[in-house]
Amino acid sequence: MFPNDFLWGAGSSSYQVEGAAKADGRGDSVWDALCRQEGTIYHGHNGDVACDHYNRYREDVSLMKEIGLQAYRFSVAWPRIMPDGVGTVSKAGLDFYDKLTDELLAAGITPWVTLFHWDFPTALYQNGGWMNRDSANWFADYTKVVVDRLSDRVQNWITINEPQIYIGLGHWEGKHAPGIKLPFAQALLAGHHTMMAHGRAVQVIRASAKKTPTVGWAPVGRVEYPATETKADIDAARASTMSVDKKNFWSNTWFGDAAVFGHYPEDGLKLFGSEAPTPKAGDMELIAQKIDFYGLNIYSGGRVKADADGKPTPVWLEQGHARNALSWAVAPESLRWGPRFIYERYKLPVIITENGMTNLDWVHSDGAVHDPQRIDFTRKYLIELNKAVADGANITGYFHWSIMDNFEWAEGYKDRFGLIHVDFETQKRTLKDSAHWYSEVISSNGKILETPHAGLEKSVFVYEGTVA
Ligand code: FCB
């Protein structure tokens, strides 16, 4: 089904799993700061301990090995490397990622390193954060330190994760860190600077990496899929997915066109008018550094059809349509059409850098964690992803989100996205049924997806004692 060299992985991010927030001189991040503000995070949860991955990474890597993971996507916490964001480098911080990398390689798992997954140093935020044009250079300096240390072993680099979210939700809607509501124009300018940071990071990686690097990024975006497979509906879905039609940050093309084509899209410039950033000479060239792959985080999508004029119009999901525990619609088709539309436009190899679901998981009375919804969700999504491959899109890998339950940002520990269950009181890990099933997906290179009940041998709920 999938190409022979298709890559099967799972991901996490530093603030969501590491904990050890004060250990070994780690600096403060905007997420630490947001968590301290009352009323911002579900039940006042925070990332102080999280999954304690900082101390338990060996056990975690051995579980990844047990699953048969080929690649692990993790992020580096900028304030763990440079507590003030610039200047002094923390030896202990670098040592952690060094040891994690070695542990992964010893287990036969390829490390995929994300340089920025939202834990921006508070010290730099106080100096203007992404609103400050210098942020691109701060990020380049930090990138250099990480690349100097890890690139003799790490080859796969992701610069930034989801500017749509940390700029849109973080700097405009105020729901994520740093929790501010800038005027739209200023938030767009912060987005421009973060894209310059992406470009600088690509330059630094290419200039300093010891092993030939593969570099990309991991944006998210709204995906619309066609109600039927008629050309008219497909065209409508493409037009909608690949447009800037609202004044918000959810568009694929606002950031995507900048990163790949070196200009913001016409429709966005028109819609945003004088609020759009005015790039200085050289900015767009910097942003559009050549990248090797286009990462995509896709969880959900909406359905559209063409109206009488060929314009996209929503076809609402039927009442009671399947949803995850955060109420995001289950939309497997999004993993066919999203990557396909992106591939058609940008002509870069696509890697699914995140996909998965939050489910109401708990440890059952037989000691196992039965999560049939997650298995069914992932199976349906992967079948659709495979259709995109059959359609001709060059899709080279899939990272499930997440390797383990973790701190789900504003939702705290309420939402569980993991293949591995974490008891946050005891830090006990339990492989969920989905982890066992995913093992079989990996070892069969997706072949078991053809058979609905394949790979579920370990998933039977066994009652202990007598059942009345
Ligand atoms: C994405 C984030 C990731 C995780 C998933 C559920 O937006 O990149 O950290 O929270 O959503």
Model pLDDT, residue 431:
98
Structure confidence by residue, pLDDT tens digits, 19-54: 999 999 999 999 999 999 999 999 999 999 999 999
Q: Could you tell me if the CB of 161 is within 6 A of ligand 1?
A: yes
182: helix, strand or coil: coil
Assess whether the previous peptide bond of 178 is cis (omega < 30° from 0): yes
Assess contact for 242 and 294: CB atoms under 8 A: no
299 C-alpha to center of ligand 1: Å? 9
Structure confidence by residue, pLDDT tens digits, 45-100: 999 999 999 999 999 999 999 999 999 999 999 999 999 999 999 999 999 999 99
Which residues touch 6 (CB under 8 Å, ≥6 apart)?
395, 396, 397, 398, 445, 446
Assign 468 a pLDDT band (cuts: 50, 70, 90). Answer: low
Q: Which atom of ligand 1 is nearest to the CA of 220?
A: 7
435 C-alpha to center of ligand 1: Å? 19
Query: Could you say which of 224, 333, 354, 440 is catalytic?
Result: 354
The percent of residues in the chain predicted with pLDDT above 70, rounded, is: 99
329 C-alpha to center of ligand 1: Å? 15
Assess whether the previous peptide bond of 402 is cis (omega < 30° from 0): yes
Query: Could you say which of 18, 103, 162, 440 is catalytic?
Result: 162
Nearest of 342, 339, 192 to residue 253 by alpha carbon: 342
How far apart are alpha carbons 454 and 451 in whole angstroms?
Answer: 5
464 C-alpha to center of ligand 1: Å? 36
Structure confidence by residue, pLDDT tens digits, 211-238: 999 999 999 999 999 999 999 999 999 9
Question: Average of pLDDT values for 270-297?
Answer: 98
Pocket test for ligand 1, best of 12, 74, 250, 409 (most atoms within 8 A of CB): 409
Q: Which atom of ligand 1 is nearest to the CA of 161?
A: 8
Pocket test for ligand 1, best of 29, 169, 401, 414 (most atoms within 8 A of CB): 401
DSSP code per residue over 264-299 = --HHHHHHHGGGS--PPTTHHHHHT---SEEEEE--
Q: Could you tell me if the CB of 415 is within 6 A of ligand 1?
A: no
Assess contact for 191 and 163: CB atoms under 8 A: yes
Active-site residue, 162 included: yes
Q: Is the overall model pTM greater than 0.75, yes or no?
A: yes
285 C-alpha to center of ligand 1: Å? 29
Question: Average of pLDDT values for 113-137?
Answer: 98
Q: Which atom of ligand 1 is nearest to the CA of 162?
A: 8
Question: Average of pLDDT values for 367-391?
Answer: 97
Instruction: For residue 209, report the phi and psi dihedrals to the nearest 5 degrees.
Output: -65, 140
Distances (CA, A) of 85 to 30, 36, 159: 12, 20, 16
Q: Could you tell me the two tokens for 229?
A: 């497979």
How far apart are alpha carbons 245 and 239 in whole angstroms?
Answer: 10
Structure confidence by residue, pLDDT tens digits, 428-458: 999 999 999 999 999 999 999 999 889 888 8
Which residues touch 93 (CB under 8 Å, ≥6 apart)?
24, 25, 26, 77, 80, 81, 82, 83
Q: Give the residue carrying structure tokens 């080929």.
A: 70
How far apart are alpha carbons 34 and 21 in whole angstroms?
Answer: 14
